[in-house]
Amino acid sequence: NAGVMQNPRHLVRRRGQEARLRCSPMKGHSHVYWYRQLPEEGLKFMVYLQKENIIDESGMPKERFSAEFPKEGPSILRIQQVVRGDSAAYFCASSATGEGAFFGQGTRLTVV
Amino acid sequence: GNSVTQMEGPVTLSEEAFLTINCTYTATGYPSLFWYVQYPGEGLQLLLKATKADDKGSNKGFEATYRKETTSFHLEKGSVQVSDSAVYFCALSDQGNFNKFYFGSGTKLNVKP
């Protein structure tokens, strides 16, 4: 059983472009969580999704950021019109129930 | 609100030294407490956890005890190895909201041979 798969591992975008980060949860997991890690900081919760539903998006910036977890396919974190301050590592975690999350290796976004 | 404070790093130790990384928390209710480890270029791995007061979590020689009276969850290991070099994160989650974690800022541990 493969772990939580995130791609790409590294992503470079110019200011104003869009960034799409993908997360394939572990097999059988229907709960997905996204976290952001700014340089030299801990991870900050962004959003919690179940299949086709956003459960808790209290950590998502109000503008430019969106997340989805469709019935089929990976969860997507989308950042529109990226700015330098969006440069960070974005981690996805998944679980089968509401506890016991496994983290992916992260996507490191660099905005130039 | 919920928050976690842990000692700043980096912490540099010689192999076989004793390790303590301090962690204190602020939370409403009865949170669960965790230590995660992040090796270079990797994601986070759960190291240990405790779900109620006075519980002791342990794994790979690491231990931490949930102290409600001091709101602490300090990480300890009796004899560190070079392979323990990593960043360690203390975290909490609300009762009933298990995977919405509040992380500390991390403590980098360097173990020298």
C-beta separation of B103 from A44 below 8 A: yes
Q: Averaged over A39-49, what is the pLDDT?
A: 89
Contacts of B68 (CB under 8 A, 6+ apart): B53, B54
Q: pLDDT value at position B44?
A: 87
Cβ separation of A103 and B44 shorter than 8 Å?
yes
Give the separation between CA A68 and CA B102, rounded to whole angstroms: 22
Q: pLDDT value at position A1?
A: 52
Q: pLDDT value at position B1?
A: 85
Calculate what percentage of chain A has a pLDDT beyond 90: 78
Q: Does A10 touch chain B (CB under 8 A)?
A: no
Q: Averaged over A9-19, what is the pLDDT?
A: 98
User: What is the rounded radius of gyration, in angstroms, for the C-alpha atoms of chain B?
Assistant: 13
Q: Does B105 touch chain A (CB under 8 A)?
A: yes
Q: Does A45 touch chain B (CB under 8 A)?
A: yes
Q: Does the pLDDT value for residue A99 go beyond 70?
A: no
Q: pLDDT value at position A14?
A: 98
Q: pLDDT value at position B30?
A: 85
Length reported for chain A? 112
Q: Averaged over A43-71, what is the pLDDT?
A: 94
| pLDDT class of A104 with cuts at 50, 70, 90 | very high
Beta-strand relationship, A88-95 and A31-37:
antiparallel
Could you read off the pLDDT of B35-52 as tens digits, one per residue? 999 998 788 899 999 999
Chain centroid to CA B85: how far?
Answer: 14
Q: Which residues of chain B have pLDDT under 50?
A: none
Q: Where are the alpha helices (DSSP H) in chain A?
A: none
Backbone angles phi, psi at B84, to 5 degrees: -80, -5
Q: pLDDT value at position B94?
A: 82
What tokens were used for B8? 């700043």
Cβ-nearest to B99 among A98, A104, A106: A98
| pLDDT class of A39 with cuts at 50, 70, 90 | confident
Identify the residue whose tokens are 């977890």: A69
Q: Averaged over A28-33, what is the pLDDT?
A: 91
Q: Does B29 touch chain A (CB under 8 A)?
A: no
Beta-strand relationship, B44-50 and A5-7:
unpaired
Contacts of B91 in chain A (CB under 8 A): 42
Q: pLDDT value at position B108?
A: 95
Cβ-nearest to B103 among A42, A95, A101: A42
What tokens were used for B34? 């965790």
